[in-house]
Structure 1
């Protein structure tokens, strides 16, 4: 009987920690890092600031842990998609669909906040997490496809540039606030075709359809 209250307390603590990160993510993306205070996060969570500080020492700690958790999940999900899809276009389409459905960030806002608001040593950590979670698996996929002849990557262009392009397109699409499942699937198909075949082929095929 004596262990039950401790178990409940631990579960409540985990729920509160998750709530803080989810609330902070929404506020950071809507207002930007600088405009959001720990007081505001606590108010929206309906907890006290001391309760928030029990889980996180400051606002930057919330931001770092929020991104660490999100990027770790992204890394696992993208690896799973890549390992289970043999066709390149299908794989790209599923990657983009996943990102459109689950990726909560506007890249312009995210990178601006990291550059101007986050301590230099933490910026390096975040860049490493970002590389490992997103750019590395997509770049590796495109590199393999290039070596197999599935796609052509110009000699003066790196596959990493295409990975950045993909993420930028996904970020811009996120701002469109795609509503229905059909819209998300159509956008994922269009962007996968654009990445693979380029603007001329993509639009030519659209006109034929």
Structure 2
């Protein structure tokens, strides 16, 4: 039952966000009562953290696998990483960040940020660090990855009608300025 709760909760949290998802919705989709959920989790934020922990492990494992792939092409790896995130875990990044910052206690926000940093962000930082000789010397890799996530956000929630991730990565890496 624990995994079933997480499956349904993940689906709801990733599409509606934390704020708009209720434990009542989770129980209705599962066809169980509220006490069934509260047997496994004390409160909604505990469900959210368990969902994010499970997602983070999967994300970190798969993104790291892409980074370690023998394909030497930075651009191809970035495209593959973004495509993986879009396919495997579509979510509305802006809703998620708003929920984390405004709907959860500070302690939980800190734990979630740590999960995000280690599983989502770290593989991108590693990839750019390993490819730093190809980057301009003035590039701050942490900042560059943060900007990439802002750019990626509109592609991850599956509302973008044209799937032009390759174009987005090309623009990210090469800019618009003619050299």
Alignment TM-score, normalising by the size of structure 2: 0.88
Deviating more after overlay: 110-119 vs 170-179:
170-179
Match of 1:100 in 2: 86
How far residue 58 of structure 1 moved from its aligned partner, in angstroms, is 1.2
Higher relative contact order (CA 8 A, sep 6+): 2
Q: Does structure 2 retain, via aligned residues, the 8 Å contact 1:94–1:188?
A: no
Deviating more after overlay: 65-74 vs 114-123:
114-123
**Larger % of helix: which?**
1
1:197 maps onto 2:174 in alignment: yes
Match of 1:43 in 2: 28
Matches within 5 A, 1:23-38: 23-38=8-23
Q: Does structure 2 retain, via aligned residues, the 8 Å contact 1:78–1:137?
A: yes
Matches within 5 A, 1:59-70: 59-70=44-55
Match of 2:98 in 1: 112
Deviating more after overlay: 170-179 vs 57-66:
170-179
Cα separation, 2, equivalents of 1:106 and 1:143: 27
Measured against aligned partners, the alpha-carbon deviations of 1:69-99 in whole angstroms (never above 9, x if no partner) come to 1011110001000101321111111111111
Q: Secondary structure at the match of 1:110?
A: helix
Runs of 4+ more than 6 Å apart:
none
Which stretches in structure 2 are left out of the alignment for 5+ residues?
none
RMSD: 2.1
1:86 maps onto 2:72 in alignment: yes
Deviating more after overlay: 25-34 vs 73-82:
25-34
Cα separation, 1, equivalents of 2:16 and 2:75: 36
Greater Rg, structure 1 or structure 2?
1
Q: Does structure 1 retain, via aligned residues, the 8 Å contact 2:100–2:109?
A: yes
Residue 80 to residue 30, structure 1, CA distance change in 2 (3 Å):
closer
Cα separation, 2, equivalents of 1:36 and 1:138: 30
Alignment TM-score, normalising by the size of structure 1: 0.76
Cα separation, 1, equivalents of 2:177 and 2:158: 23
Match of 2:155 in 1: 173
